[in-house]
Amino acid sequence: MSQDWQRLNDEVTALIKEARANVLEKMSDPLTVNEKTNRKDLVTNVDKSNEQFLIAGIRRIDPTAHILGEEGFGDDLKSLDGRVWIVDPIDGTMNFVKQRDNFAIMIGIYQDGEGQLGYIDDVMNDVLYYGGPQLGGVWANDERLSAPANLALADGLIGASGPLVIHDVAQMHKIIHVSAGMRVYGSAGIEMINIMRGKTLGYISHLKPWDIAAGQILLNTLGVRVSAIDGKPLNMLSSNLVLVATEKAQRDILQIEEDDVSL
Amino acid sequence: MSQDWQRLNDEVTALIKEARANVLEKMSDPLTVNEKTNRKDLVTNVDKSNEQFLIAGIRRIDPTAHILGEEGFGDDLKSLDGRVWIVDPIDGTMNFVKQRDNFAIMIGIYQDGEGQLGYIDDVMNDVLYYGGPQLGGVWANDERLSAPANLALADGLIGASGPLVIHDVAQMHKIIHVSAGMRVYGSAGIEMINIMRGKTLGYISHLKPWDIAAGQILLNTLGVRVSAIDGKPLNMLSSNLVLVATEKAQRDILQIEEDDVSL
């Protein structure tokens, strides 16, 4: 790894720690909560202020950065050329609002479309997950993570988003039936952490780029597959129906999807 | 509260702490996992040994105790007369097996059918939730818990069991639609803790007596309603489709159930 990437990592780590402290401080005041597209799609004053804080920090670290942010304070990106930072200031905003727990701050750094460094901060547990090809591994604070076991779908739990389960999108019911069971945690970041920790073997959800940018980098580094539900690469400039899974479980799930199409 | 109940509480607390230490020690060895009714209904050597340990301890504490235990090492109860101890040695066995996290040790103590003291030990977080009418409150280790906010269904997250959601039992889809969202954690004990902490406003699941015995006592003490899905009292000698909810959310959910019947 180059010294440049190491220095970049040090700077991003420091930035996220500062962002976390700001978020915790703001949580002691009442939140201002607004609806975005509907009453289950929320944004708070903390999402907004934290995105502004992170973007200002990124521009100091990397003045030529292209930045894609959930709350729209970044750039209007048309391509992934150059160095692109993808920012989710509060992932799991509903959990943040209703639980004051189980949410994350996330940043993914891409270079010409290739993931380089990813960061998921589990704010309430005070654990920063970070790593990527430029660091040659993934860490949880000071602990280096080993790759999760390559479980078949039948041998583990699968995370899912509630609406996909209720509407049985993409054969969710069959996938859950084959698995050992489903879990719903309400935050893509928390789901990614559970997969890194081997607590679930995968996750299926409709996601925006900022929901999956960091997780894709971290999980790929640990040998976990991240793709669209048809196995193809994600489009990091739009929404995707995302399938995250161990290699074996990905194969099992893609087979279920294929059987569906052939009916 | 009588000194007898205080002494009982001290003894049960000590017993559960010892049981927890045993479980943690056994977790460093490979588990022996067997299926009960199907491949998603598991029992391990630790469920069994911990139930035997707890029952032996209960018989020392209360020689005339009637004991109902999940794994069948207790008594064959025909009534709730006298002092009845209801024991779940590992609640959330699938989580225990697949996650090594998010499971609980639970004991509920009933006197002539009335809940007196409840215990839910969140093993991996080392927090023992205990209390009931005989203690006049609920504690999480040394912290006394206040009653969770009396949220309406629309204002909070609802916990559910996966199969109820998939099969849309008891209007689950409508209930989830009205709520702020659903979560699935895979352990009744962990769900009860989330409700006590105000992280979810309720939980709906098919439960056996040992899944709900402790939670019913703790939650009632905090003003949260525990009933069958039709609002009637639970039968603590059989399975129930259980509705746990804040007072307002219970009313909202019972209304949804009633509308269903009137169709």
Inter-chain CB proximity A181 and B101 less than 8 Å: no
For residues A223 and A250, is the Cβ–Cβ distance under 8 A? no
pLDDT exceeds cutoff 90 at A119 = yes
**Chain B nearest C-alpha distance from A184 (Å):** 5
Inter-chain CB proximity B166 and A173 less than 8 Å: yes
Query: Maximum CA pair distance of chain A?
Result: 54
pLDDT band at B35 (very low <50, low <70, confident <90, very high): very high
Q: B133-174, pLDDT tens digit by residue?
A: 999 999 999 999 999 999 999 999 999 999 999 999 999 999
Does the domain spanning B153-261 belong to CATH 3.40.190.80?
Answer: yes
**Element containing residue A205 per DSSP (H, E):** strand A202-207
CA distances from B129 to A157, B1, B22, B125, B175 (A): 27, 19, 19, 11, 28
pLDDT exceeds cutoff 70 at A144 = yes
Strand order in the sheet with A66-69: A66-69, A83-91, A104-111, A114-122, A127-132, A137-140, A143-144
**What pLDDT is attached to residue B1?**
55
Average pLDDT (A124-131) is 98
User: Alpha-carbon distance B137 to B117, whole Å?
Assistant: 10
What's the ipTM?
0.96
**Element containing residue B17 per DSSP (H, E):** helix B3-26
Best CA proximity match to B207, nearest among B226, B193, B221, B182: B226
Q: A8-30, pLDDT tens digit by residue?
A: 999 999 999 999 999 999 999 99
A contacts of B162 (beta carbons < 8 Å): 165, 176, 181-183
* DSSP type of residue B159: E
For residues B187 and B102, is the Cβ–Cβ distance under 8 A? yes
**Chain A nearest C-alpha distance from B179 (Å):** 9
| Three-state DSSP state, B83 | strand
Q: Exposure of A203 by Cβ count < 10 A (0-12 exposed, 13-18 middle, 19+ buried)? A: buried
pLDDT exceeds cutoff 70 at A263 = no
For residues B211 and B188, is the Cβ–Cβ distance under 8 A? yes
Q: Considering chain A, what is the average pLDDT of its residues?
A: 96
Average pLDDT (B25-37) is 95
Q: Report the C-alpha dihedral over residues A44, A47, A52, A56, rounded to 10 degrees.
A: 160
pLDDT band at B68 (very low <50, low <70, confident <90, very high): very high
Q: A95-114, pLDDT tens digit by residue?
A: 999 999 999 999 999 999 99
**What pLDDT is attached to residue B188?**
98
- pLDDT above 90 coverage of chain A, percent: 97
Domain boundaries, chain B: 3-144, 153-261
- The span from the first CA to the last CA of chain A, in angstroms, equals 48
Rg (CA), chain B: 18
| Three-state DSSP state, A158 | strand
**What pLDDT is attached to residue B244?**
98
Inter-chain CB proximity B162 and A181 less than 8 Å: yes
Please give the CATH superfamily to which domain A3-144 belongs: Fructose-1,6-Bisphosphatase, subunit A, domain 1 (3.30.540.10)
Tokens standing for B204?
């709906």
pLDDT band at B228 (very low <50, low <70, confident <90, very high): very high
Q: Which of B164, B165, B174 to mutate to test the interface with A (most CBs of A within 10 A)?
A: B165
pLDDT exceeds cutoff 80 at A212 = yes
**What pLDDT is attached to residue A262?**
54
Write out the residues of chain A at the interface with chain B, using a CB-CB cutoff of 8 A. 39-40, 94-95, 98-99, 101-102, 156-157, 162, 165-166, 173, 176, 180-186, 194, 199-200
For residues B54 and B87, is the Cβ–Cβ distance under 8 A? yes
A160: nearest CA in chain B?
A: B184
Tokens standing for A40?
């289950």
**What pLDDT is attached to residue A261?**
65
In one-letter notation, the amino acid at residue A8 is L
Q: Exposure of A35 by Cβ count < 10 A (0-12 exposed, 13-18 middle, 19+ buried)? A: exposed
* DSSP type of residue B145: P
pLDDT exceeds cutoff 70 at B113 = yes
A contacts of B156 (beta carbons < 8 Å): 98
Strand order in the sheet with B225-228: B181-183, B157-160, B202-207, B240-245, B225-228
Alpha-helical segments (H) within chain A:
3-26, 45-61, 93-99, 162-166, 172-178, 188-196, 209-221, 247-261
Q: Report the C-alpha dihedral over residues B86, B89, B91, B97, rounded to 10 degrees.
A: -160
Q: B203-217, pLDDT tens digit by residue?
A: 999 999 999 999 999
Task: Supply the DSSP string of A36-92, one letter for each residue.
Answer: SSSTTSEEEHHHHHHHHHHHHHHHHH-TT-EEEETTS-S---S---SEEEEEEEEE-
| Three-state DSSP state, A15 | helix
B contacts of A157 (beta carbons < 8 Å): 94-95, 98-99, 186
**Chain B nearest C-alpha distance from A166 (Å):** 6
Q: A154-200, pLDDT tens digit by residue?
A: 999 999 999 999 999 999 999 999 999 999 999 999 999 999 999 99
Side-chain-side CA neighbours of A108 within 13 Å: the count stands at 29
**What pLDDT is attached to residue A239?**
97
Residue B68 makes CB contacts below 8 A (sequence gap 6+) with B74, B75, B77, B84, B85, B86, B87, B209, B210, B213, B237
User: Alpha-carbon distance A254 to A192, whole Å?
Assistant: 20
User: Alpha-carbon distance B139 to B120, whole Å?
Assistant: 10
* Other residues' Cβ atoms within 10 Å of the Cβ of residue B221: 22
Average pLDDT (B92-96) is 98
User: Alpha-carbon distance A188 to B47, whole Å?
Assistant: 32
Average pLDDT (A115-130) is 98
